Chain A
Amino acid sequence: MSARLAAAFGKGHPALVCFVTAGDPTPDATPAILDALVAGGADVVELGMPFTDPMADGPAIQAANLRALGAGTTTAQILAIAAGFRARHPAVPLVLMGYANPMTIRGGDWFAAQASAAGVDGVICVDIPPEEDGELGPALRARGISLIRLATPTTDAARFPAVLDGSSGFLYYVSVAGITGKQSAALTSIETAVARFKQTTDLPIAVGFGVRTAEQAGPIARVADGVVVGSALVDLVAQHGADAAGPVRALVADLAQAVHSARSIAA
């Protein structure tokens, strides 16, 4: 697994994982927004690959996908954005997140090779469950890229080993059964789920879906290894467009302060 991902979850405090969509509002605007995530204190950066049919996403990220594709964003540009990020931020882990078709259309080997060349540490594919791992998993593992799987409230004990098999980097716990950006889960249910998964895996567990504010992120960071924030950042990009870097940096700094200090306050 990626040394950068391991380091991000080994800092002695919970990690803040931040998501934005590549090419939103334009491919040229994305690097400055990614830099703002890092400057604000993000420990892991997730770069969303836009898709015409983002069926696991709520309205905010759907709209971001359409803005990015409307601006003509291509896979080649996304890989170039990733490579540029790696050059500017040699130590910050970068994860590509998206849907199966854009990742596999030229073959899983092609995608893994390109992602590796761009310095990508991990890949999250929303619609490739363990049952279809052959599409992408072997190619990623052969290149040393972490395949980061999702666990959900419907992932029971019988199924969890299949989710873990072949995954690395961290485990992304989708805290609500639903789409991105909508409702948030009760803290007690998150704590119970994380504790349950911890009995079976040593992978860091990052919790996402519906986390929008420092007030929500802090308490989750007390019970998990990381917190993922996406739709709230994407909403800022929707609001501020090419000038989003400043507001994005401010929100990330707020979130980072809450997440990084969560345990020292709580303890």
Chain B
Amino acid sequence: MNAPTPNSFRTQPDERGHFGQFGGRYVAETLMPLILDLEAEYGRAKADPAFQTEFDDLLEHYVGRPSPLYFAPRLTEALGGAQVWFKRDELNHTGAHKINNCIGQILLAIRMGKTRIIAETGAGQHGVATATVCARFGLPCVIYMGATDVARQAPNVFRMKLLGAEVIPVQAGARTLKDAMNEALRDWVANVHDTFYIIGTAAGPHPYPELVRDFQSVIGREARAQMLARTGRLPDVLVAAIGGGSNAIGLFHPFLDDPSVRMLGVEAAGHGLDKDHAASLAGGRPGILHGNKTYLLQDADGQIIEGHSISAGLDYPGIGPEHAWLKEVGRVDYTSVTDDEALDAFQLLCRTEGIIPALEPAHAIAEVQKLAPTLPKDTIILANLCGRGDKDIFTVADHLGVTL
């Protein structure tokens, strides 16, 4: 389908929460009044300078923003083409971009008078970030995590518990992120009167995709200003990994109306697009799950197929609805890299720049590895280094055949 090119790519969603045909509010009736309240409260918060001031203050003094914009000289040299730059969101407090969104959402929860926080988590990064802000603001916190992920992400489970959160292992389905999200929705529908659900990515029912994007857009706003200050120009290509897509939309959104800036979202191709993978745009079709219409991995009857990626943070069979729209209108290109390519890129960044990336941005780096040699040396590629790799060293060791 060829959607008409809009005058601006930055005015979505519409008043009903739709990004073109995607997005929306596909939730049980019990949740609708709360979803509408949240939309209204977010509208008031956006118009309230005090809200923005508190958000900015916490990002500066608690999270450690702005994160650096870093030119990677040895990686650039090794790849022999375009300049490679990184937005260093792995240096944030808690080690990933997830905290930006959690700060924003907990401030909304407090504005709404909610006294209990729930969240889902896959790899545990969003769970840790949520537990962190709950500790900071003194609210009880329940994290739903698939039992499979609990077993393979033990350090993050312990971090969440240290931060005072209750971690509930979910035994349903494949016991991963999708099932954790189902269980969080079940909790929410039963505790809607006092509970705020901090969704971790730019997906779910409206207004979540919009508000998560807005909170994460600090990444792109900073990067745009930093790049202009350092080089006097905009980057030529942005690259970011995509699971649900919050780090990518956070980087991309402030650049969407800069026509010279090309954007590349990188999905997880797992064992390969013809085998098990988590590339919803490459291998899925539009459907409805977890409150929104978007591209989903599914069979002919609309039953959801489990995603697979070496990265637990990309291991989800859907994608945020704004990415589905940006794909259809052609503003952003989407590609994918395999587990093996991500592992290679992970090691390359360790050795060339002294940075251990998370396996999620390792997918973006793998795409940079392919792209940079094909471009002239005066071209600027900016990739989002959205998380650090401490959590992944056990997974990587396992794949490299190393026993720790």
A residues engaging B (CB < 8 A)? 51-56, 58, 62, 66, 69, 74-75, 99-105, 126-129, 131-132, 135, 149-156, 159, 163, 174, 176-179, 182
Contact = CB atoms under 8 A, between A and B. Distances in A.
Contacts of A74: 301
Residue among B28, B173, B191 with the most chain A CB within 10 A? B28
24 contacts: A51-B303, A53-B178, A53-B182, A54-B182, A55-B182, A56-B28, A99-B288, A101-B302, A102-B302, A104-B287, A104-B302, A126-B28, A129-B25, A129-B28, A131-B16, A131-B24, A152-B29, A154-B30, A154-B31, A154-B192, A155-B33, A163-B29, A176-B190, A179-B186
Interface string B370-385: 0000000000000000
Contacts of A163: 29
B34 interface: yes
A68 to B, nearest CB: 11
For A51, A152, A159, A182, the residue with the greatest tally of chain B CB atoms inside 10 Å of its CB is A152
Given A53-B289, A55-B290, A101-B289, A62 B29 contact: no
Given A53-B289, A55-B186, A178-B190, A101 B29 contact: no
B27 interface: yes
B176 interface: no
A177 B172 contact: no
Contacts of B31: 154
Interface residues of B, number: 37
A126 B288 CA distance: 12
B189 A179 contact: yes
Q: Please give me the 9 A-B residue pairs with the lowest Cβ-Cβ distance, nearest first.
A: A105-B302, A178-B190, A101-B302, A100-B288, A102-B302, A152-B30, A55-B182, A55-B185, A52-B304
Contact of B33 (A51, A154, A182): A154
A131 B32 contact: yes
A58 B28 CA distance: 14
B190 A150 contact: no
B189 A127 contact: no
Contacts of A176: 190
Nearest to A153: B30
Contacts of A54: 182
B186 A69 contact: no
Interface in B158-214: 172-173, 178, 181-182, 185-186, 189-193
B196 to A, nearest CB: 15
A69 B172 CA distance: 14
Nearest to A176: B190
B223 interface: no
Contacts of B190: 176-179, 182
Contacts of A135: 288
A105 B290 CA distance: 15
